[in-house]
Structure 1
Amino acid sequence: MNCTAVGVDIAKHVFQVHYIDQETGEMVNKPIKRAQFLEHFANRARCLIGMEACGGAHHWARQLVKMGHEVRLIPAEFAKAFNIRNKNDAADARTIWLAVQQPGKPVAVKTETQQAMLALHRMRQQLIKFRTMQINNLRGLLTEYGEVMGMGRGVLDKAIPGVLARVAERLPAVVIDTLREQWNGLSKLDEQVAQIERRMREWKKEDKAVKAISEIPGVGLLTATAAVAMMGDPKAFRSGREFAAWAGLVPKQTGSGGKINLHGISKHGDAYLRTLLIHGARAVLRHAKEAGTWVDLMIKRRPKNVVIVALANKMARMIWAVLAHDRPYQKNYVSTKLA
C-alpha cells in the first residue's frame, strides 16, 4: 500500500482517528474536534481513509476526496467483525482502520444531488407512514363507539361523514370537532405527498439517467429516482449480478462440506429500493400479455412470488446495465460476448 491507512470514527462533535505514523512507527489514536477535522488532513500526504457509512459520512468523504485522499465508506456490519473487545470511540477507530485494509465492497460516495433525492424519498415515506397511522387511529377510536368501517382510504372517506353525524348525538362537540380535524388533516398529507412527487417528476425531466431507466418495464418514477440516488456510481459494481446481490434480491446461501443450501432472498441492502423493485415486478407480471417469454415459462413451474422476485432481480440487472454502459433500454436486446 503506497499511502497511509487511516481509520476515522465520525461523530457530532469529536472525531477519533487511528493510524500508524510512517516516520516513527508509532500507533496514533487521538480525538480531533469537528472544526479541525479537515485541517488535520489538508496538509497530509495522500491517505487511504476509512469511515463507516453512517450519517454525515458522504459529506466528509466528498470533502476529503477534493483534497486528493482516497476514501472508502465501509458498511457497519463489515466493520463490526473487526471489533476485538470494548466498544468506544478509540476502539471503533481502530476497528475501521483494520477493516479498510481488508478486501471488501465499499459503499459508493453519493453526490449532494443524489442525497437530496433520497431526502425527498425519506420525507415522502414518513408522510405516508404518518397518514396510515392517522387513518388507523381514526378507525380505532370510532370503533370504541360501535362504528366499524371497512379497510381502505376510500371506504373511510365515504363512511366517516355519516359516522361523525351519528356519534355527534352522544359525544361532546369538542371531541367531534377534533375527530373532524384529524380527518381533514389527511387531505393536507395527501397534498404534501403529491407535491413531493411533482418535484420528483421535475427532476426526472432533467436527469438523463432517470429518464433512461424509466423505459424499463416496471420501473416507475419512484423506482427510477431511488435507484439512481442509492446506487451512487454504477461502475462501483462490477456487474448487474453484483448490484442485484447488493439489493438483496439473490438467495441466501449456507452450507458446509461442499454442499450448498439455497434459502430465501438475503434481504441485504436497502429494504426501500428492494420493495419498489418487487412491487414493480408484480405490476409487470399482472399486466404481462406476451406469450412464450421466460416469465410465462417460469410461472408454470415455480410459485408466483418466486417469479416476482426473479423478475425484480432481472430489473435490477437491467438498471445497472443501462446506467453503467450509458446506453438506452432495448426491449429485445441480446447480450453477446466476444470469443
Structure 2
Amino acid sequence: MTCTTVGVDIAKNVFQVHYIDEETGEIVNKPIRRAKFMEHFVNRAPCLIGMEACSGAHHWARQLTKMGHQVKLMPAAFVKAFNIRNKNDAADARAIWLAVQQPSKPIAVKTEVQQAMLALHRTREQLVKFRTMQINSLRGLLTEYGEVMGRGRAALDKAIPDVLARVAERLPATLIDTLREQWTGLAKLDQQIGAIERRMRMGVKEDRAVRAISDIPGVGMLTATAAVSMIGDAKVFRSGREFAAWAGLGPKQTGSGGKTNLHGISKRGDTYLRTLLIHGARSGLTHSKEPSQWLEQISKRRPPNVVIVALANKMARTIWAVLAHDRPYQRGYMSLKPAPTVALGKESTFR
C-alpha cells in the first residue's frame, strides 16, 4: 500500500493520520499510538507528510526524513483555514492533509543543536519575565503602605533598604522577612540569567554563522544566536525582503479594486526575534558613532520609532544576505545587479 500525501495531527500519546489509499481509493483517517507511529511509516514508500509546527514536530520531522519521506511543517494559522466545522483530531488531520497540498512556504526543520539554543533563549526569557514580575510585585506591595519607589531594578535596589527599615516599625516581622527574601531572591535570578548567557557565548565561538552576523551593527549575541536557530536554512527564503516579512517587519496591506494601502508592520512571525531586532536597531541608532548616509536621510524625514523599525528591517535583510550567500559582513557593501547588455544593430542610434 502506497500513499503520496499524508496529513498527521501529532499529540502527546495518540496521533491521527489522514490519507487516500492509491490502490483502493479509500479515505483513511485513523489514530495511531505514539509507540507505533514510526512503525507505521517505516515500510511505506516515500511520501509527502504534512504536520503543524508545534511541540515535537521537529523531532518527528527529523525521524521521518531519515526514512526517506519528505516532511513539510506548516504554521497552525495556515492549517486553521482548512478546518471546517468541528475541531477534533480527525478534522485536524484532514485539514493538515488539505493544507500540505497547497503552495506555501514551509518551516525549515531545525536540528537538535538549533533547538537546544532556542531552549536556552526560552529559559532565559522566562527568568527575565519572572524577575520583572518580582520587581513589580515588591513595588506594588510596598505602595499599599505609602512607600512609592521608582521604576526599574536600579531604583528598587537603591530605595528598598530604607523603605524596609521604615515600615519595619509598624508592620509584622513576618511580612518584612518575606519581602526581604523576595528582594534577595532577585540576585539568584541574576546569577541564573548570567549563567545562561555565558553558555550562549560558548555557542557563539563554535558557530561560524553566528560569528558572521555578529559583525552587523546592532546584532548582539542574543539576536545572532536566536536568528540562526530560528531561520534554520536561510535558503528557504528567496530574498532578504521575504525574511523580513516573515519576521513581521513588513507593512500590513489592505485594499480593494486594484488599490493597495500600506499600514504599520504586520507583527507576524516570532515575537521574540522581532523584539530582539527592534531593540538592537534602537541600540545601534543610539550608539552609532558614524551613521550611514541612508540612516541620516531617513532620520530627517521620519519619526524616531519609524526609523528604528526601518533599521530593524534592514538588519533582517542583511542577516539573510550574510547567511544565504555565506559571506562575511562588509560595511558599505552595495548589491547591484549588472546592467543588461543590448546588442546594437547598424541602424541603432542614440538620442
TM-score tier, shorter chain, comes to over 0.9
Whole-Å Cα distance in 1 between the matches of residues 3 and 332 of structure 2? 47
Name the residue aligned to 1:249: 249
What TM-score do the two structures reach when normalised by structure 2?
Answer: 0.94
TM-superposed CA distance for 1:283, in Å, is 1.2
Please state how far the C-alpha of 1:336 moved relative to its aligned partner.
2.4
Q: Deviations over 1:76-126 (max 9, x none)?
A: 111111112211100100000000000001111111111111111111111
CA distance, structure 2, for counterparts of residue 285 and residue 158 of structure 1: 30
Q: How does 1:176-215 map to 2 (within 5 A)?
A: 176-215=176-215
TM-score by structure 1 length? 0.98
Residue 4 of structure 1 is matched in structure 2 by 4
CA RMSD of aligned residues (A): 1.2
- Give unpaired runs (5+ residues) of structure 1: none
- How many Å separate the matches in 1 of 2:152 and 2:303? 28
Contact in 1 for aligned 2:3/2:19 (Cα 8 Å): no
Instruction: Please state how far the C-alpha of 1:302 moved relative to its aligned partner.
Output: 1.4
Query: Which residue does the alignment assign to 2:66?
Result: 66
Aligned to 2:343: none
Does the alignment pair 1:262 with 2:262?
yes
| Rounded Cα–Cα distance in structure 2 between residues aligned with 1:26 and 1:291 | 64
User: How far apart are the structure 1 equivalents of 2:178 and 2:205?
Assistant: 41
Quickly say closer, same or farther: Cα 1:88–1:291, change in 2 above 3 A: closer
Three-state SS of the structure 1 residue aligned to 2:301 is coil
Does the residue aligned with 1:300 lie in a helix, a strand or coil? Answer: helix
Give the corresponding residue for 2:273.
273
The CA deviation at 1:42 is 0.3
Alignment-derived partner of residue 78 in structure 1:
78
Residue 291 of structure 1 and its aligned partner are, at CA, apart by 5.9
Cα separation, 2, equivalents of 1:64 and 1:110:
13
* Rg comparison, structure with higher value: 2
Aligned to 1:327, what secondary structure does the other structure show? coil
Count matched residues: 338
4-13 vs 172-181, greater mean Cα deviation: 172-181
Closer, same or farther: CA 219–13 of 1 in aligned 2, 3 Å: same
| Correspondence for 1:165 | 165
Instruction: After TM superposition, give the deviation of residue 292 of structure 1 in Å.
Output: 6.1
What stretches of structure 2 of length at least 5 have no aligned partner? 341-351
The equivalent residue for 1:337 is 337
Which amino acid letter does the alignment assign opposite residue 196 of structure 2?
Answer: I
**Residue type of the partner of 1:174?**
T
Tell me if the contact between 2:72 and 2:100 (Cα under 8 Å) persists in the aligned partners: yes
* 1:168 to partner: Cα distance: 1.1
Distance of 1:134 and 1:307 partners within structure 2: 33
Q: Percent of counterpart pairs with the same letter?
A: 79
Paired AA for residue 254 in structure 2: T
Q: Report 1:40-51 matches (<5 A).
A: 40-51=40-51
Report deviation, 1:3.
Answer: 6.2
Measured in 1, the distance between the counterparts of 2:213 and 2:42 equals 39
CA displacement 1:117-154 (0-9 Å, x = unmatched): 11111111110110111111111111111111111111
How far 1:287 moved relative to its partner? 2.1
Q: Spell out, residue by residue over 1:157-192, the C-alpha distance to the aligned partner (whole angstroms, 9 max, x if none).
A: 111111111111112222111111110000000000
CA distance in 2, matches of 1:120, 1:288: 29
Residue identity in the other structure for 2:192? Q
1:60 to partner: Cα distance: 0.4
